Amino acid sequence: METEAGTSKEQNAINTDTNPFEIIEQKILALAQARPKGITDKDLIIEMPELPVKERAQIINKLLSQGHFDLFKQSGSLLYRLKDPSKAKIAKGADNEEKIVYSIIEEAGNKGIWIRDIRFKSNLMPTQLSKILKSLEIKKFIKAVKSVAASKKKVYMLYNLEPDTSVTGGAWYQDQDFEAEFVDVLNQQCYRFLEKKREQMNSCRGGPIMARNVTFASSKEVWKFISDLGISKVKLSVEDLEMILNTLVYDGKVERTLSSDGSILYRAIEPLLDSPGLIKSTCGVCPVRKHCYDIGDVTPTKCQYITEWLE
Amino acid sequence: MSVICRKLCSSILSEHFGQIVQRVAEDLFKHDARPLELICCTTHLPLTKIKEALCVLIKHGFVVYGQTERGLEYSLIHQNILLILRYPKYMFFVKTMCGDESEMILEEVLMSGYITASEVITKTYKKIEQSPSGLQPSVPVLKEKFELLVKNQFLTRSLCTDTVEEKTNEKPDFTLPDFNLAAVIKKIEGDNNSDPGDSKIYWKVNFDRLIQDLRDQIIVSAISRRLDENAGELMRQLLFLMYLRTASWAHTSNPIPLTEIKEAVKKINYPLLAHHLDQYLHLIEEDSSQFLKRVGESGGHFCVNMKEAFEQLAWATLENIVTERFGSKAARIFRLVRDKKYIEQEQIQQLAMIPAKEAKHLTYTLLQENYLQIQEIKKSGVSAAPIKTFFLFHIDLNLVVYMEVQHCYQALYNIMQRREYEISSNKRMIDKQLRMQTLTTNLKEHGATEEQLAEIADLMTPSEKQQLEKVQNTIKKLGITELQIDDTLFLLTMYLRYH
Amino acid sequence: MAGRGRGRGKPSMSISTEQLGFAKGETLPPPVLQPPLKYPLLEYKPLPLNITTELSYLFELKKGYAEYMRESPNNVLPVVVKKDIERYSDRYQDLITDKSSYEIRYDWNRMPIELKPQLRKRKEQTVESPKKKQKNIDVELKLQELEKKENSQQSDVEEEEKEEEETEEKDDEQVEEEEEELDEEMDEGTDYANNYFDNGEGYDDEDDNLDDGPIY
Is residue A176 within 8 Å of residue A167, measured between CB atoms? no
Which residues in A lie closer than 8 A to residue C35 (C-beta atoms)? Answer: none
Residue B133 confidence class, pLDDT cut points 50, 70, 90: confident
> Do B55 and C47 count as a contact with CB atoms less than 8 A apart?
no
Q: Within 10 Å of residue A188's Cβ, how many Cβ atoms?
A: 12
Question: What mean pLDDT comes out for the span A208-236?
Answer: 91
Contact present, C78 and B20 (Cβ < 8 Å): yes
Q: How confident is the model at residue C25 (pLDDT cuts 50, 70, 90)?
A: low
Contacts of B92 in chain C (CB under 8 A): 54, 57-58, 61
Nearest chain C residue to A276 by CA: give it.
Answer: C47
Residue C116's pLDDT is 87
**What integer is the mean pLDDT of B205-222?**
96
Judged by DSSP in three states, B40 sits in helix
Distance between A172 CA and the closest CA of chain B, angstroms = 9
Q: Looking at chain B, which residue has its C-alpha nearest residue A243? A: B351
Identify which of A280, A303, A305 has the shortest CB distance to residue C49.
A280
Our CA-based measurement puts residue A281 at a distance from the nearest CA of chain C, in whole angstroms, of: 6
Q: Name which of A144-148, A267-271, B6-10, B275-279 the model is least confident about.
A: A144-148
Q: Are B337 and B343 in contact (CB under 8 A)?
A: yes
With CB atoms and an 8 Å threshold, state whether C44 touches A151. no
Band of the pLDDT at C15, cuts 50, 70, 90?
Answer: low
Give residue C202's pLDDT: 40
- Chain C residues in contact with A309 (beta carbon < 8 A): 46
Strands (E), B348-458: 373-379, 388-394
Please list every residue in chain B whose beta carbon sits closer than 8 Å to the beta carbon of residue C213.
37, 41
Lowest mean pLDDT among A64-73, B60-69, B101-110, B355-364: A64-73
Among C73, C102, C56, which Cα is nearest to B48's?
C102
Flag if C46 and A288 touch (Cβ within 8 Å): no
Contact A284 B325 (CB under 8 A): yes
Substitution target from C51, C55, C74 for chain B, most B beta carbons within 10 A: C74
Using the predicted structure, report yes or no on whether residue B13 has a pLDDT greater than 50: yes
As a whole number, mean pLDDT of residues A71-90 equals 68
Q: How far apart are CA B163 and CA C134, in angstroms?
A: 14
Give the pLDDT of residue B238.
97
Q: Work out the average pLDDT over A103-107.
A: 88
B477–A310 CB contact, under 8 Å: yes
Cβ <8 Å between B488 and A208: no
- Candidates C26, C39, C61, C76, partner chain B, best to mutate (most B CBs within 10 A): C76
Nearest CA among B337, B339, B334 for reference residue B323 = B334
Which residue of A lies nearest to B421 if distances are taken between CA atoms? Answer: A301
Q: Give residue B24's pLDDT.
A: 97
The mean pLDDT value of chain B amounts to: 92
**Smallest Cβ distance to A178: which of B282, B356, B413?**
B356
**Which of C59, C106, C203 comes nearest B479 by C-beta?**
C59
Q: List all chains that touch chain C, counting a touch as 3 or more CB pairs closer than 8 Å.
A: A, B
For residue B197, count other CB atoms closer than 10 A to its CB. 13
Mean pLDDT of A219-231: 92
Q: For the sheet containing B34-35, what is the strand order?
A: B34-35, B71-76, B63-68
pLDDT for A93: 58
Nearest 5°: the CA angle A305, B3, B249 is 100
What single DSSP character describes residue C96? I
Instruction: Look at A285 and C46 and tell me if their CB atoms are within 8 Å.
Output: yes
CB spacing of C111 vs B58 below 8 angstroms: yes
Rounded distance between C-alpha atoms, residue A35 and residue A30, angstroms: 9
In this complex, the chains that touch A, judged by 3 or more CB pairs closer than 8 A, are B, C
Answer yes or no: do A301 and B279 touch at CB < 8 A.
no
pLDDT band of B173, cuts 50, 70, 90: confident
| Interface membership of C67 toward B (CB under 8 Å) | no
Chain B residue with minimal CA distance to C205? Answer: B46
Q: What does DSSP assign to residue B107?
A: H
What was the pLDDT predicted at C121?
Answer: 47
Q: Is pLDDT above 80 for A127?
A: yes
- Give SS3 for C192: helix
H-run or E-run covering A269: none
Q: Which amino acid is at B313?
A: L
Q: How far apart are CA B228 and CA B221, in angstroms?
A: 9
Question: Measured between CB atoms, does B200 come within 8 Å of chain C?
Answer: yes
Closest CA to A135 of A91, A96, A106, A98: A98
Quote the mean pLDDT of chain A.
83
Q: Give the least confident one: A262-276, B96-110, B434-448.
A: B434-448
Residue C188 has pLDDT above 90, yes or no: no
Nearest C-alpha in A relative to C49: A280
Choose among A232, C206, C183, A48: nearest CA to B48. C206
Chains B and C form CB pairs within 8 A to the count of 157
Contact yes or no for B17 and C111 at CB 8 A: no
Q: Do C46 and A152 touch (CB under 8 A)?
A: no
- Of B48, B54, B477, which has the smallest distance from its Cβ to C49's Cβ? B477
What span, in angstroms and rounded, lies between the C-alpha atoms of B488 and B410?
A: 13
Q: Is the pLDDT of residue A125 over 60?
A: yes
Contact between A278 and B411 using a beta-carbon 8 Å cutoff: yes
pLDDT of residue A297 exceeding 50: yes
Predicted pLDDT at A8: 43
Cα–Cα distance, B80 to B82 (Å, whole number): 5
Note the pLDDT of residue A162: 82
Mean pLDDT, to the nearest integer, of B59-63? 95
State which amino acid sits at residue B198: D
> Looking at the predicted structure, is the pLDDT value of residue A99 above 70?
yes
Cα separations in angstroms, C180 against B36, B169, B494, C207: 19, 24, 42, 27
Give the Cα separation of B55 and B61 in Å (integer): 10
Q: Confirm if B283 and A212 have CB atoms less than 8 A apart.
A: yes
B/e letters for A248-273, b = 16+ CB within 10 Å, e = fewer, are bbbbbbbbeeeeeeeeebbbbbeebb
- The whole-number pLDDT of residue B417 equals 97
Give the residue on A whose Cα is nearest the Cα of C22: A151
Q: Taking CA atoms, what residue in C is nearest to A151?
A: C23
For residues C37-43, average pLDDT: 88
Alpha carbon B223 to chain centroid, angstroms: 21
- Look at residue A87 and tell me whether its pLDDT is greater than 50: yes
* Band of pLDDT at residue C123, cut at 50, 70 and 90: very low
Taking CA–CA distances from B414, the nearest residue in chain A reads A300
Q: How far is CA B88 from CA B94, B131, B422, in A?
A: 10, 18, 22
Angle subtended at Cα A30 by Cα A28 and Cα A34, rounded to the nearest 5 degrees: 115
Of A280, A281, A305, nearest to C42 by CB-CB distance is: A305
Q: Worst-scoring range by mean pLDDT, A17-26, A209-218, A263-272, B185-194?
A: A17-26
Using a CB-CB distance cutoff of 8 angstroms, which residues of chain A are in contact with residue C23? 151-153
Q: How many other CB atoms are there within 10 angstroms of residue B228's CB atom?
A: 19
Q: Which of A187, A250, A274 sits opposite B339 (nearest CB)?
A: A250
Comparing CB atoms, the residue among A178, A271, A300 nearest residue B355 is A178
| Residues of C (170-189) whose Cβ lies below 8 Å from B | none
Give the confidence band of B209 by pLDDT, cuts at 50, 70, 90. Answer: very high
- The one-letter amino acid at B396: D
- Report pLDDT for B382: 63
- Whether the predicted pLDDT of C196 surpasses 60: no
Q: Which residues of B touch C114 (CB under 8 A)?
A: 36, 51, 72
Residue pair A156/A115 in contact (Cβ under 8 Å)? The answer is yes
| CB within 8 Å: B92 and C54 | yes
pLDDT at residue A199 in the model: 92
pLDDT of residue C33: 67
Burial of A166-175, coded b for 16+ CB within 10 Å and e otherwise, reads bbbbbbbbee
Distance CA B236, CA B222 (A): 11
Please give the helix or strand (H or E) that residue B83 lies within, else none. Answer: none
Q: pLDDT at position C16, please?
A: 55
Strand order in the sheet with B155-158: B115-116, B202-205, B155-158
Q: What mean pLDDT comes out for the span C99-114?
A: 81
